[in-house]
C-alpha cells in the first residue's frame, strides 16, 4: 500500500460546480497537510496548509482533515476554468520532516 | 513567500552528457531541496542541499549521479550526470524558510529531455 493515495483523474466538471479532491494515507504519524496546485509546465504552488485535524477555509477553497479516517479533502466552490490544473496533496509527520506527495489529480473545469 | 528562480527552464540534451541546473532564492532560507517529477508520478525527493557541506541523498539517489552544491543560503545547483533517456523529467528546487518551516515552496522547474 502506498503511503499516500490520490486518484489521478481527470476530473471534469462544469463551471460553477463544487469540486471535491481527496487523498488517503496510511501513516498515522502525519500531522501537517498541504495542497498544491500545479498548472501545466509550472512548479507546484502552495494552496492550503493545515495542521492536524479540522477545517480551514480560504476564499473558495476549504481544506478538511480527518485523521481518524486518514483522509483529507480539498473543496473548491464555484469552480472556474482558471482552476483547471493538477492538485497535489502532501503531508509530513513533523515541521522539519520531508513531505510525502500524492500523484496528483487533474481537474478540468469547462466554461 | 520567497521568490525562487531556476535556470534553465528547459533543455534537450544528448545521452552521456551532463546538465547543471541552478536555483536562486531572493532571501535566505534554511532548507533547500531538489525534487524530480516524472510523468504520471509523485514528486520524488532527490536530496536536501546543505549549506557548506555535502547534500543528504534519499534512497535510490547517489552523489555521483546527482552532485549538488549549496555554497550559500540563497543558491544551489543540481547536476544530472552521464544522462540517459530515463533522466528525462522535471527537476524542481524547493525551500522552507526559517519564518515558516511548516510550509514548503517550489520553483518553476527545469524540464529536461534526454535523447
Per residue in A10-59, pLDDT (tens digit) is 999 999 999 999 999 999 999 999 999 999 889 999 999 998 888 999 99
- Chain A CB contacts of B113 under 8 Å are none
Q: What is the number of H-type helices and E-type strands within chain A?
A: 0, 11
- Chain A CB contacts of B4 under 8 Å are 43
Q: Name the grid cell of A106.
A: 487533474
A41 lies within 8 A of chain B by CB: yes
Instruction: State how far Cα A8 lies from the chain centre.
Output: 12
DSSP SS3 for A69: coil
Show which of residues 51-80 on chain A sit within 8 Å of chain B, judged by CB atoms. 51
Distance CA A94, CA A24 (A): 18
B57-94 per-position pLDDT tens digit: 999 999 999 999 999 989 999 999 999 999 999 999 99
Which residues, in sequence order, are CB contacts of B1 under 8 Å at separation 6+? A46, B97, B100, B103, B105
A57-70 per-position pLDDT tens digit: 999 999 999 999 99
A34 lies within 8 A of chain B by CB: yes
Mutate to test the interface with A, among B8, B21, B102, B113 (most CBs of A within 10 A): B102
Distance CA A48, CA A35 (A): 5
Amino acid at each position: 500500500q502506498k503511503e499516500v493515495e490520490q486518484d489521478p483523474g481527470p476530473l471534469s466538471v462544469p463551471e460553477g460546480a463544487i469540486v471535491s479532491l481527496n487523498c488517503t494515507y496510511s501513516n498515522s504519524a502525519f500531522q501537517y497537510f498541504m495542497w498544491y496546485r500545479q498548472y501545466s509546465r509550472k512548479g507546484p504552488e502552495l494552496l492550503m496548509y493545515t495542521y492536524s485535524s479540522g477545517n480551514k477555509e480560504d476564499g473558495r477553497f476549504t481544506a478538511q482533515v480527518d485523521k481518524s479516517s486518514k483522509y483529507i479533502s480539498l473543496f473548491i466552490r464555484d469552480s472556474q476554468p482558471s482552476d483547471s490544473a493538477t492538485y497535489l496533496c502532501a503531508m509530513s509527520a513533523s515541521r522539519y520532516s520531508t513531505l510525502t506527495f500524492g500523484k496528483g489529480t487533474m481537474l478540468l473545469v469547462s466554461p | 513567500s520567497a521568490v525562487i528562480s531556476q535556470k534553465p527552464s528547459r533543455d534537450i540534451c544528448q545521452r552521456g552528457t551532463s546538465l547543471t541546473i541552478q536555483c536562486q532564492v531572493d532571501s535566505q532560507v534554511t532548507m533547500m531541496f531538489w525534487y524530480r517529477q516524472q510523468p504520471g508520478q509523485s514528486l520524488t525527493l532527490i536530496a536536501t542541499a546543505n549549506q557548506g557541506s555535502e547534500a543528504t541523498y534519499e534512497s535510490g539517489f547517489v552523489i555521483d549521479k546527482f552532485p549538488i552544491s549549496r555554497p550559500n543560503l540563497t543558491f544551489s545547483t543540481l547536476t544530472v550526470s552521464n544522462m540517459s533517456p530515463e533522466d528525462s523529467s522535471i527537476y524542481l528546487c524547493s525551500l522552507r524558510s526559517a519564518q515558516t518551516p511548516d510550509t514548503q515552496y517550489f520553483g518553476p522547474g527545469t524540464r529536461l529531455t534526454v535523447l
